[in-house]
Amino acid sequence: MTDHHPHGPTADAAHHHAPLRTPEHTAAVERALAALDLDTKVRLLSGQDMWTLPAVPAIGLRSLVMSDGPVGVRGQEWNAQDPSVALPGPTALAATWDPELARRAGHLLAQEARRKGVHVLLAPTVNLHRSPLGGRHFECYAEDPLLTGEIGAGYVRGVQEGGVGASVKHFVGNDAETDRLTVDNRIAPRPLRELYLAPFEHIVASARPWAVMTAYNQVNGATMTEHRALVQGVLRGEWGFDGCTVSDWTAARDTVRALRGGLDLAMPGPRTVYGAPLAEAVRRGAVDESEVDDAVRRVLLLAARTGCLDGVPAAVSPDEVPRGIDGRSVAREIARRGCVLLRNEPVDGARRALPLDAAALRRVAVIGTAAREARVLGGGSATVFPEAVVSPLEGLRAALPDDVEIAFAAGADPRSRVPHAREGFTLRARYLAADGQLLAETAQPDGRVQVLGRFPEGVTRENLRAVELTGGFTPRHTGRHTLAVAGTGELRLTVGGAVLFDGRCAPQGGDPFEGFLHPAEQRVAAQLTAGEQVEVTLRFVPDGADRGEGPAALTFALGHRAPDTDAEAEIGAAVRAAAGADVAIVVVGTTEETESEGADRADLRLPGRQDELVRRVAAANPHTVVVVNSGSPVELPWREQVPAVLLSWFPGQEGGAALADVLLGAHEPGGRLPTTWPARLDDAPVTTVTPTDGQLDYAEGVFIGYRGWQRSTAAPAYPFGHGLGYTDWEYESLDTTPDSVRVRVRNAGDRPGREVIQIYLAPTADAAPDAPERPARWLAGFAVVEAGPGESTEAEIPLPDRAFAVRDAEDDGWHRVKGVYLVEAARSVEDRRLTAEVTVG
Ligand code: BGC
C-alpha cells in the first residue's frame, strides 16, 4: 500500500475540476445589473436579516443565505431544532496535515449546506496561532502559514466543488479576541506578507474562493472593513481575487469609507451602513454610482455561482456535486486522524501504554467530567448543534468487550458556570405575546434558549413579549440543588410553585458575542427530594433593546447542579477507581468559558483541580493514559509522570467513537502538532494579546510559533510537527534539486501506518550577507504517505520559489535569497532525519 499527496505553496489549480463558467456569469451579471435601480442595488449590498440577502424577483434573484462555519453548517437557526453534523475542530483537521481530507470535509459541509438551503459558508478561519492565548485559536489551523494555507485551500476546494461558496475569514490579523472590534494591530510588511496574508494569498491563488470576510480589527491604522490598501490593493489588485467581500458581523461602520475600501456586503441587516444611507451618499455625490455597481456586480456573481440567479447555471451543476456522504463517518475519520499521540512510554518496563490490549482488560477506569459530558466543539459563532454526540465513555463502552467493567468517576468538575439543566428535566419553550397568547412552542433538549437570526415560526420581534422555559424536573438526589438563571432581561424562576428568583440580569462584557454566549448568571438553591417531580418555569422578558431594531436575538438559560458533592471526595473516588483498574483513562480539558469567541485566555492552565486529579490518579495506577480535550495548547505539568498523553482536540460529534478506535488500536492516532505546545506560557514567543492604548504591536516580527521557539533558550513541551502514531519510520533517502525533493521512508514497525513527511529549509551561514534576519528553519512542504509493515514509499515534494524568498521591508516585492540551504526531511521541527544541501543562485 503506497500513496502520497505532496503539498507546497504551488500545488494548485490542477485540482479544479469544476468549471467556473465565468464568461456566462459575467454576462448574466451585467444583464441583471442593468435592470436595477439605485435603491434596489444598495439593498442588495446589505443583509435583510441576520443571515440572508434580499431576493429581487424582477431579475430572477433569489435570497442568498449565509451560515457559520467552520465545523458544520448551523443554518439560520441558533439551536438544536435543526441539527447539523459537527466535524472535529479546525486544530484537529490541521493536525491531519492532509488537505485532501480537508477537501472531503468540505464536500460533506457543502452537502450539509445544500440540505439547509445555505449558499455561502462563513469559513474557513485562516488567521494564525500567533499566541496560544488567542480565544479562537481552536478555530484557526496552525502557527505556520503554509500548513494553514494548504488545509484552508483543501477545505475551500471541497466546499466549492459542492456548489457552495466559501467565505475565507477573517481578512486579516484577527489573531486574538481582546478588544477585537477596535484593536489596531501594528504589523510590519514582512510578517504581514510572510505570515498573516500568506494563507489568504495561497487560498486565493489555488482554490479561488467566492468570498472573503473582512475582519473586525484594524491593521496599521485602518479598520479592515475600510482597508483599501489591503482589500482593493492586495487582495483584488495583486492577487486577482474576483469574489465578494463581506463584513464581519456588525463591523461595517462608515458608508463611504467601507465602499471605497472595497467592502461589498454589510452584514447583518436590516440596518447597516449600506442600504438607504448608501443611496443617499450617491445622491449627495459622496460616492459614484459606478462604485456601487462594482460591489453589486460581485454580489450578483456570488449569487450566480451559488445558483441564486435565474437564467444562468450555477458554477457547479447539481448533478456534479459530491453526494450521499455519511457525515458521521467523515467526522469519525477526521477525529482519529487528527488525534496527536504526544507521548507513549512503556508501563513498568513492559509494553507501551498504547494501544490498549482489549483482550487483556478486565476493568477500565474512565475519569473526568468531559469523559461523560463530551466537549466536542469550541464556543462562539463556530457553534453548531449536532443531533447526538458520542462521549468518550459511550465510545469506550461500545468498543470494549461486554465483560470488561468500566468504572466512571468525574474526579474534578472544572466548570465554573452551572451547567445547563438537562438530566431529569423535560423542558419546552413557550413564546408569548403581551396578552399571554401562545405564539410558538418548541421542545428544549436542555435549559438553554438561544435565538439568533430567526425566531420560531409565528414569532416576530414585534409580537414577542416573553418566553417561558417550562416543564418537569425529577431529581435523582435528595438535598440542596443549585439552580442558576442567566440572560439579559427580567427573569422569574418558579420551582414547585415557589418563586426562587425574580429580578433583572444585566449584560456583561463589551463584546456582543460574549454577552450572547455567556450572559450573567445568578444562583439560587432548592431543597428537593429524589424521585419527586416538581414543576419548573423560568419566565424571561428580554430587555427592550433586544426587541427593538436589529436581528432577532435572545438568550437565556436555566442551569442545574445536583446537591453539592465534595470535590475532595470526587477526586478520592477517581483515585479508588483508578487503583482498582487495569488502566485509567483520564479525560482533561478546557471548559466552555475558557475557549470561546469574544475573549482571550488569561493563562494556559487546565481549569479547576484537573492537574491534581491527573497526578493523584497516576500515583494510584502506573498505566494512566491522559486524553487532552481542548482546542488549543494547555500546560501539562505532569506530562512526564504518565506514560501516555493523547490530544483529542475538540473532536466533533463522533469524538468518543474515534477515541475508542485509537485507544484500542483499531486505528492509529494520525495527527501531528500544527502548533507548538509550550511547557509554560511564559516560554512562548508571544505571551500577551492585550493592546496598549488601543494598539497591539506584532513586535516579534516573523518570529511566531516554532520560528520564535528556535531562537529561544526554552524548550517547548512538544514541538511543531510532533506526533507518534503506532508504527516506526525510517527515513531512507533524500534527493533534492532547487525545485523539489524526493524522500523515501520505510515503515519499520509491524502495522500499517501513515507518516507526515515534513520538509524544512534552513539557511546556512553561507547565505547572502545582506539577507534580512530569518528563522533558523521553516516549513517548505510536506506530504502524507501510507505504507504497510516493512514497506517503503516515496514522496516528491515541490520546493516553490516562495520558500526561498523574503518580503522586502518596504513591501515592494519578494526577493529570492541566494545561498546554500539545508533541506531537511523531518518528523517534527526538532526530529530531523535526513539533510541535503541546495544552492540557490
Ligand atoms: C464572527 C464571524 C462569524 C459571524 C457570524 C462574528 O462574530 O467573528 O466569524 O462568521 O460572527 O456569526
Q: Which atom of ligand 1 is nearest to the CA of 215?
A: 8
Q: Is the pLDDT of residue 581 over 50?
A: yes
Q: For ligand 1, what atom is nearest to the CA of residue 268? A: 5
Looking at the CA of residue 170, tell me the nearest atom of ligand 1. 9
- What distance in Å separates the CA atoms of residue 10 and residue 780, rounded to the nearest whole number? 11
pLDDT at position 768: 67
Q: Ligand 1 within 6 A of 249 CB? A: yes
Q: What is the pLDDT of residues 521-533, one digit of tens each?
A: 899 999 999 999 9
Q: Ligand 1 centroid vs 392 CA: distance in angstroms?
A: 30
Instruction: Give yes or no for residue 248 CB within 6 A of ligand 1.
Output: yes
How much distance in Å is there from the Cα of 407 to the middle of ligand 1?
41
Sequential DSSP letters for 41-106: HHHHTB-SSSSBPPPBGGGTBPPPBEE--SSS---S-SSTTS----PPPHHHHHHTT-HHHHHHHH
Closest CA to 78 of 37, 107, 49: 49
Q: Is it the case that residue 545 has pLDDT exceeding 90? A: no
- For the question of residue 294 being annotated catalytic, the response is no
Confidence label for 453 from pLDDT (cuts 50, 70 and 90): confident
Range with the lowest mean pLDDT among 212-216, 401-405, 446-450?
Answer: 446-450
Atom 6 of ligand 1, nearest CA residue:
249
Count other C-beta atoms under 10 Å from residue 280's C-beta: 12
> Within 13 Å of residue 746, how many CA atoms lie on the same side as its CB?
6
Q: Hey, whose CA ends up nearest to atom 9 of ligand 1?
A: 381
Distance from residue 51's CA to the centre of ligand 1 (Å): 11
pLDDT confidence of residue 592:
85
Say if ligand 1 is within 6 A of residue 155 CB.
no
- Is the Cβ–Cβ distance between 399 and 660 less than 8 Å? yes
What is the 791 CA–ligand 1 centroid distance (Å)? 46
Instruction: Report the pLDDT value the prediction gives residue 436, as an integer from 0 to 100.
Output: 93
* Ligand 1, atom 3: closest residue by C-alpha: 381
Which CATH number among 3.20.20.300, 3.10.20.30, 3.90.1420.10, 3.40.50.720 corresponds to the domain 31-75+83-305? 3.20.20.300
Ligand 1 close to Cβ of residue 516 (< 6 A): no
DSSP conformation class of 233 = I
Q: What are the φ/ψ torsions at residue 384 (nearest 5 degrees)? A: -130, 170
DSSP, res 125: B
Q: For 791-841, how does the pLDDT look when each residue is reduced to its tens digit (9 = 90+)? A: 999 999 999 999 999 999 999 999 999 999 999 999 999 999 999 999 998
Ligand 1 pocket check for 513: Cβ under 6 Å: yes
pLDDT at 477 over 70: yes
Sorting pLDDT into bands at 50, 70 and 90, what band is 461?
confident
Q: What does 136-199 look like in DSSP terms, one character per residue?
A: TGGGS--SSHHHHHHHHHHHHHHHHHTT-EEEEEEETT----TTTTT-EEE--HHHIIIIISHH
Ligand 1 centroid–CA 37 distance in Å is 31
Closest ligand 1 atom to 512 CA: 7
DSSP code of 226?
Answer: G
The rounded distance, in Å, linking the Cα atoms of 380 and 513 is 7
Could you state, in order of their start, the residue ranges of all structural domains in the chain? 31-75+83-305, 425-473+476-561, 727-840
> Distance, CA 752 to ligand 1 centroid (Å)?
41
Using CA atoms, how far apart are residues 363 and 497, in angstroms rounded to an integer?
A: 46
122 close to ligand 1 (CB < 6 Angstrom): yes
**CA 683 to chain CA mean position, Å:** 25
Counting ligand 1 atoms within 8 A of each CB, the residue from 51, 248, 267, 451 with the most, and so the one to mutate, is 248
Q: How confident is the model at residue 549 (pLDDT cuts 50, 70, 90)?
A: low
Q: 241-245, 408-412, 452-456, 497-501: which has the minimum mean pLDDT?
A: 452-456
Cβ 731 under 6 angstroms from ligand 1 = no
pLDDT of residue 594: 87
Q: Is the per-residue pLDDT at 2 higher than 60?
A: no
To the question of domain 727-840 being in CATH 2.60.40.10, the answer is yes
Report the pLDDT value the prediction gives residue 405, as an integer from 0 to 100.
Answer: 98
Tell me the per-residue pLDDT of 391-405, one tens digit each, with 9 for 90 and over. Answer: 999 999 999 999 999
Can you give the C-alpha Rg of the chain in angstroms? 27
Assess whether pLDDT exceeds 70 at residue 607.
Answer: yes
Least confident range from 15-29, 224-238, 336-350, 582-596: namely 15-29
DSSP 492-545: EEEETTEEEEEEEE---SS-HHHHHHS--EEEEEEEE-TT--EEEEEEEEE-HH
Contact 224, 200 (CB under 8 A): no
Angle at 617 between CA 612 and CA 620, to 5 degrees: 130
pLDDT at 28: 96
User: Quick one: 264 exposed, middle or buried, by C-beta within 10 A (0-12, 13-18, 19+)?
Assistant: buried
86: its cell numbers: 459537527
Report the alpha-carbon distance of residue 591 to residue 608 in Å, rounded.
Answer: 10
Contacts of 99 (CB under 8 A, 6+ apart): 5, 7, 11, 150, 151, 153, 154
Phi first, then psi, for residue 393 (nearest 5°) are -60, -45
Ligand 1 centroid–CA 447 distance in Å is 24
Indicate whether residue 381 lines ligand 1 (CB < 6 A).
Answer: yes
Mutation test of ligand 1: which of 213, 249, 511 has the most ligand atoms closer than 8 Å to its C-beta? 249
681, 601 Cβ separation under 8 angstroms = no
pLDDT band of residue 511 (cuts 50, 70, 90) is confident
Percent of the chain with pLDDT over 70: 96
For ligand 1, atom 11, name the residue with the nearest CA. Answer: 249
Parallel, antiparallel or unpaired: strands 184-186 and 695-697: parallel
Q: Which atom of ligand 1 is nearest to the CA of 174?
A: 8
**Is 49 near ligand 1, meaning CB less than 6 Å away?**
no
pLDDT at 8 over 50: no
How far apart are the CA of 247 and the centre of ligand 1, in A?
9
For residue 70, whether the previous peptide bond is cis, meaning omega lies within 30 degrees of 0, is yes
So what's the pLDDT on residue 10? 36
Beta bridge partners of 468: 430, 539
Ligand 1: centre distance to CA 241 (Å)? 21
**Which pLDDT band, with edges at 50, 70 and 90, does 12 fall under?**
very low
Our CA angle for 54, 55, 60, nearest 5°, is 155
Neighbour-count burial for 579-612, b at 16+ CB within 10 Å, e otherwise: eebbbbbbbbbbbbbbbbbbbbbeebbbbbbbbe
Average pLDDT, the chain: 93
The terminus-to-terminus CA distance of the chain in angstroms comes to: 39
State mean pLDDT over 538-546: 78
Mapping DSSP to helix (H, G, I), strand (E, B) and coil, where does residue 457 land?
Answer: coil
- Can you tell me the mean pLDDT for 438-458? 90
Give the Cα separation of 378 and 764 in Å (integer): 42
Does residue 736 have its Cβ closer than 6 Å to ligand 1?
no
Which residue out of 65, 68, 172 has the highest number of ligand 1 atoms within 8 Å of its CB and is therefore the one to mutate?
A: 68
pLDDT digits (tens, 9 = 90+) for 251-308: 999 999 999 999 999 999 999 999 999 999 999 999 999 999 999 999 999 999 999 9
For residue 9, name the pLDDT band (cuts at 50, 70, 90).
very low
Residue 169, ligand 1, Cβ within 6 A: yes
Which residue lies with its CA nearest to atom 12 of ligand 1?
A: 381
Cα angle, residue 90 at apex, residues 87 and 91 outer, rounded to 5°:
125
Residue 185 CB less than 6 A away from ligand 1: no
State whether the beta carbon of 68 lies less than 6 angstroms from ligand 1: yes
> DSSP code of 300?
H
Residue 119: C-alpha distances to residues 48, 52, 78, 81 (Å): 15, 10, 17, 20
Identify the CA nearest to 582 among candidates 351, 339, 750: 351
Q: Give mean pLDDT, residues 217-234.
A: 98
The contacts of residue 718 (CB under 8 Å, 6+ apart) are 342, 673, 676, 677
pLDDT 10s digits, 103-157: 999 999 999 999 999 999 999 999 999 999 999 999 999 999 999 999 999 999 9
Does any ligand 1 atom lie closer than 6 A to the CB of residue 778?
A: no
Local structure of 237: helix, strand or coil = helix
Q: Which atom of ligand 1 is nearest to the CA of 125?
A: 9
| DSSP letter (8 states) at residue 245 | E
Instruction: Give the tens place of pLDDT for each residue, 49-81.
Output: 999 999 999 999 999 999 999 999 999 988 887
> Cα–Cα–Cα angle for 493, 496, 501, nearest 5°?
20
Residue written as grid cell 477585537 = 180
Residues 658/7/17/236 CA torsion (nearest 10 deg):
110
62-89: burial string, b at 16+ Cβ within 10 Å, e else: bbbbbbbbbbbbbbbbbbbebbbbbbbb
| SS3 (DSSP) at 34 | helix
Please report the atom of ligand 1 found closest to the CA of residue 139: 9
Strands 438-444 and 120-121: unpaired
Q: How far apart are CA 337 and CA 331, in angstroms?
A: 10
Length of the chain: 841
Q: Which protein residue's CA is at the shortest distance from atom 4 of ligand 1?
A: 249
- C-beta of residue 262 within 8 angstroms of C-beta of residue 235: yes
Whole-number pLDDT of residue 11: 35
How much is the average pLDDT of 711-731? 97
Atom of ligand 1 nearest to the CA of 381: 12
Report how far ligand 1's centroid is from the alpha carbon of 107 (Å).
22
Q: Report how far ligand 1's centroid is from the alpha carbon of 85 (Å).
A: 19
pLDDT (tens digit, 9 = 90+) per residue, 726-750? 999 999 999 998 899 999 999 999 9
Q: pTM value?
A: 0.95
Euclidean distance between CA atoms 527 and 225, whole angstroms: 53
Task: Decide if pLDDT at 14 tops 90.
Answer: no
Kindly give the distance from the C-alpha atom of residue 169 to the centroid of ligand 1, in angstroms, as a whole number.
Answer: 9
Give the whole-angstrom CA distance, residue 188 versus residue 736: 33
pLDDT band at 689 (very low <50, low <70, confident <90, very high): very high
Report which protein residue has its CA nearest ligand 1's atom 8.
248
The Cα–Cα gap between 334 and 338 comes to: 6
Cα 282 to Cα 32: distance, rounded to the nearest angstrom: 20
Determine whether the shortest distance from the Cβ of 74 to ligand 1 is under 6 A. Answer: no
Residue 605 DSSP one-character state? P
Alpha carbon distance 168, 156 (integer Å): 8
Could you tell me how far CA 538 lies from the centroid of its own chain? 33
Q: What is the mean pLDDT of residues 660-670?
A: 97
Q: Which fold has domain 425-473+476-561?
A: Jelly Rolls (2.60.120)
From 248, 511, 611, 661, active-site residue:
248
Tell me which residue of 339, 553, 311, 583 sits closest to 450, measured CA to CA.
553
